[in-house]
A and B are shown apart, each in its own frame.
Chain A
Amino acid sequence: MSQTYRLNNSGQINRDKKISFKFNGKKYFGFEGDTLASALLANGIHLVGRSFKYHRPRGFFGAGVDEPYAIVQMVRNNETEPNVRATEQELFEGLEAKSVNCWPSVNFDIGAINNFFNKFLPAGFYYKTFMWPKSFWYRIYEPFIRKAAGFGVASTKYDSERYEHKYEYCDLLIAGSGPAGLSGAYAAAKNGARVILAEEKPRFGGSLLTSEVNIGNQSGKDWAEKIIAELKEMPNVTVKNRSQVFGYYDHNMLVMSEKVSDHLPKTKKFSPKQRLWYIRAKEVLISSGSIERPIVFGNNDTPGVILASAAKEYLKVYGVLVGKKPLVFTNNDSAYETAIEFKKNGIDPIILDSRNAPKSEIIEEAKNLGIEIKFSYVVVTANGYKKVKSAQIAHISSDKRNLGKIEKINCDCICVSGFWTPTIHLSSQSGNKTKFDEKIDAFVPGKSKQNETTVGSASGIFNLEETISTSFEKGYQLSKKITNNDNKVSAPQVSEKKFTNHDKFWCVPLPDKKNFKRFLDFQNDVTVSDIELALREGYRSIEHVKRYTTLGMATDQGKTSNLNGLQLVSDVENKVVPSVGHTTFRPPYTPVSIGAIVGREIGKHSKPTRKSPMHSWHEKNNAVFVDAGMWLRPRYYKKGNEGLFEASKREAENVRKNVGVCDVTTLGKIDIKGPDAAEFLNRVYTNAWLKLPVGKARYGVMLREDGIVMDDGTTTRISENHYHMTTTTAQAANVLSHLEYYLQLVWPDLNVNVVSTTEQWAGAAIAGPKSRDLLQKLFPDKDFTNNGLPFMGYTEGSLFGVPARIFRISFSGELAYELNVESDFGNFMWEKIIEVGDEFKIQPYGTEALSTLRIEMGHVAGSELDGRTVPYDNGLDGLVSKKKDFIGKRSLNREAFKAQNRQRVVGVVPLDKKTSIPEGSHLVKEATAKLPNPKLGHISASCWSVEYNNPFSLAILKDGKNMIGKKLYALSPLKKKSIPVEIVSSHYVDPKGERVRS
């Protein structure tokens, strides 16, 4: 199909490069520099989608970010992306796009039946209709709404594109590269400020690209090009196109989304698809411009009804005619530029101007060009279903209430202009209290809250000369404030046509006995009658009207509809617009892809993976890993066909019988130094620490201030004023923060320093009856008898020349030691232990065997210290000193914590000695009692006891102390299990603790 609506020579596209693309499966051609919208219009395609609620045919309304209709489903490089604006999507070779919200096709859409049942789809339809019967919601209403709602379809595939985040700092961030932005950037950059200039579109220059003005003896467009070229050369300036500053957050943090590769057929190697910039700016210059607003009239959503500024942009930037028989309907002078542009390209437009004989330079020019102008005329309704075929027009009385005789006029497009709305989103997001400007019938920024300044038409200045001179001045002033430089460049001379006042007119009244749909919100299908209905039903606050009718809640966030909505509410309510107020502007200004927000933090990159120095050894020896916080720990070492159960059982048995070695590098380690270290530990732990001798370790429990157990571990006195604390893997970071809190804030008088050494030490736990023999072989010159190194003793040795810390501590309940060497020697240590331990039948064991060993010994761990238990509950009350004060002690006096029948840790054995009890099962008195069956406790940890070869669990049980010997049931409705059990002591194996001292 040829580009029949393409002009032969105008536009800023590259006619030497023809590009083919597909829309709804059909092949078309455009040029390099086109958007999907301009290329479709060049091919005479106006019908691109169906509306949200009534499935009415929809075309193009804008030429950029404000577009409410032309939302397409994009296919690029085999990836599909929903909700892309055709007016923003740049054309590339092989682009594929299709219409959304229509079935089976955009031309014949079954959902359009809604259009004829619109009586049933008024404002608040969902609230009114889907309320009853209740059972219908889940089965009928919700699936219906899900199917009917929304535009595009999200891909279910993994997004293989790369998105990046970038953090940047600057003196001055400038949002928008129109005349105001360029002027401010140039003045500030010349004065030495570090400037970032962001432009959402591919081309810089904003309105200068389409306006007929002269700046400094050249056209506005040439001036913009010259300034941009100069800025790009300056080392203190970053110039970014395709970059939308979409959010203004606290403390002058702005976020910008840069579409790095969306305009290319494929993302280049080493380049992201999009980049999200977090910019901390000392000052912000908001030059975001303004958006033309429509005049509301009957069937104003028909394809072919388009903003006058968009029609001009298609003409001047893309060399495309939106129609060949245009009607220009306006209440102000700016649309005359559109009409003149048509005329210059050999097309005869007709101007309908709602004003009564206004006079200005540009109106004169239009007249002189022979353009037909009808003053005091309005479009009453557009005719045509899938495309404008004609319009019904009429004379309007000066009070804008009465229409004259309806006349029909043939046309193929209606270019509409209802004046301009400053884009105040960023200013408002920063906390600026906006104010209503009667002169332009719109809100403008008021007093700045953060370091932001709004210039140009975003601040309500629609005069180029004033825009340029004030923006130069602001750029200079702001940069001077930051850099203290004083290089002022003067603003260039500007010549432009002077405009006269616009007409305060925004909505064409309905003719007698006609009920045309007059749309306010084009994307969400909100009409004038919807708003009127909402007001009749008692909605008053603009925020409520918005939510009830969904006005301005679509993906375009009401860029073209909000102000007309406010006008309507204020008209009906007989209030002035400022007292109605506007709804809150919230970021993002335009939709931002989830990928850009997430950035690189996906999959393996979502958090760091911590590995012990012995990790590669574990990998080589068939370790199956488990996540322990950020750490990867061996869960078990697989031999042959073993599964988790067999392998962990074998490993645990070998510890009880011979000797095993476990990687305990992940335990939190904190180095504590200072003359007051003993006193500090004495306050942190519940038990006594002042008399711990050098060379001895002690088990300690620490509480939160509310009396709940926070963590446990052993701490060793290395020398007089030097301690080595260990924490659980999970709580390492929290414990360090906890210690720092008390040292810095509560007891700054204590002379103690703490630092994390978790990653500095590699740890290996060697456990089992033969561990002493192994240690003797590893350190031949050391004495490992009970005299030489007693239980809870500490010494240092040389492991084949490597300095090692040797602790005689045990988590498994066996005779056991723990070795620490500097991390770089971790693998060396491990290999030596395995090599020398061979004769003692050593086997490595993972976290599953580790758990088995501690559970059957009744040693509490994370599953019992679960943030809900006090020391008594864990059987740790013996470690609570009655003599001294410590963190959390006062809380233990609470009635509930002292109750006689308080929960306590117990052992649980199934009566059949066969059935494993699922963790989390509830302990109840009767298995089949009426629900809710009173819960007496829960299973916190389960294992297969290798000592007794039957299942064994730990539980936190109400009145646990007096329950030993009782028969209960363990219920797991989730696993459909009801297991008769007997309560036993939690110390199932070696209750006297003889082995660790052997």
Chain B
Amino acid sequence: MLYIECPYCGLRSQNEFAYGGDGTVKRPTLNKEVSDKEWDNFVYNRKSPRGKHVELWHHISGCRQWIKVQRDTVTHEIFKTVSADKEI
């Protein structure tokens, strides 16, 4: 079970969190013309990188904050966690 450092609550076990998908995806801004391809990439297309990856986790049974977690998808090593408003 992963041990995730919530920027608000400290180190907490994985079972307090819900996985929230790829943390590198950026939603196109509202009211902006978006090509089909761009929209497709946002909604459907995800990479499945081997190694370092930025993910979203939701501290659902804790402070209810969405956080960004940089994790190695092979070794599960967590390098860094930041609050939602920060970039990794």
> What is the interface of chain A, defined by CB distance below 8 A to chain B?
167, 249-253, 278, 280, 431, 449, 683, 705-706, 737, 740-741, 744-746, 748, 884-885, 890-891, 893
Q: Which residue of chain B lies nearest to A733 when distances are taken between CB atoms in the complex?
A: B60
B18 contacts A737, CB within 8 Å? yes
Judge if B31 is at the interface, Cβ distance under 8 Å: yes
Min Cβ gap A399→B in Å is 45
9 pairs across A/B with beta carbons < 8 Å? A251-B2, A251-B78, A253-B13, A737-B58, A740-B58, A741-B58, A745-B84, A748-B85, A891-B43
B84 contacts A705, CB within 8 Å? no
Contacts of B3 on A, CB cut-off 8 Å?
A: 250-253, 280
Contacts of A431 on B, CB cut-off 8 Å?
A: 75
Bound together, the chains give a CA A249 to CA B43 distance in angstroms of: 33
Count A-B pairs with CB separation below 8 Å.
55
Min Cβ gap A641→B in Å is 46
Contacts of B2 on A, CB cut-off 8 Å?
A: 250-251
Contacts of A251 on B, CB cut-off 8 Å?
A: 1-3, 76, 78
B20 contacts A741, CB within 8 Å? yes
Contacts of A167 on B, CB cut-off 8 Å?
A: 13
Q: Which residue of chain B lies nearest to A889 when distances are taken between CB atoms in the complex?
A: B30
Q: Which residue of chain A lies nearest to B56 when distances are taken between CB atoms in the complex?
A: A745
- Chain B 49-88 interface residues, beta-carbon cutoff 8 Å to A: 56, 58, 60, 64-66, 75-76, 78, 84-85
Bound together, the chains give a CA A745 to CA B83 distance in angstroms of: 9
Bound together, the chains give a CA A304 to CA B75 distance in angstroms of: 46
Q: Which residue of chain B lies nearest to A707 when distances are taken between CB atoms in the complex?
A: B43
If the complex has contacts A251-B76, A683-B30, A885-B30, are A706 and B43 also in contact, measured as CB distance less than 8 A?
yes
Bound together, the chains give a CA A449 to CA B74 distance in angstroms of: 13
Interface size on B, residues (CB 8 A): 27
> What is the interface of chain B, defined by CB distance below 8 A to chain A?
1-3, 13, 18, 20, 27-28, 30-31, 34, 36, 39, 42-44, 56, 58, 60, 64-66, 75-76, 78, 84-85
Contacts of A746 on B, CB cut-off 8 Å?
A: 27
New A-B contacts (8) at CB < 8 Å, excluding given A167-B13, A748-B85: A253-B3, A253-B13, A280-B13, A737-B58, A740-B66, A741-B58, A744-B84, A744-B85
Bound together, the chains give a CA A741 to CA B56 distance in angstroms of: 10
Min Cβ gap B32→A in Å is 8
**Could you say which of A249, A449, A683, A706 contacts B44, with CB atoms under 8 Å apart?**
A706
Min Cβ gap B40→A in Å is 9
B39 contacts A249, CB within 8 Å? no
Contacts of A741 on B, CB cut-off 8 Å?
A: 20, 58, 66
B13 contacts A745, CB within 8 Å? no
Contacts of A891 on B, CB cut-off 8 Å?
A: 39, 43
Contacts of A885 on B, CB cut-off 8 Å?
A: 30-31
Bound together, the chains give a CA A891 to CA B44 distance in angstroms of: 11
Min Cβ gap A173→B in Å is 14
Min Cβ gap B63→A in Å is 11
Residue in A167, A745, A891 whose Cβ sees the most chain B Cβ within 10 Å:
A745
4 closest Cβ contacts across the A-B interface? A251-B3, A744-B84, A885-B30, A250-B76
B65 contacts A744, CB within 8 Å? yes
B43 contacts A705, CB within 8 Å? yes
Bound together, the chains give a CA A748 to CA B39 distance in angstroms of: 21
**Could you say which of A249, A683, A705, A893 contacts B1, with CB atoms under 8 Å apart?**
A249
B39 contacts A890, CB within 8 Å? yes
A740 contacts B34, CB within 8 Å? no
Contacts of B1 on A, CB cut-off 8 Å?
A: 249-251, 253, 278
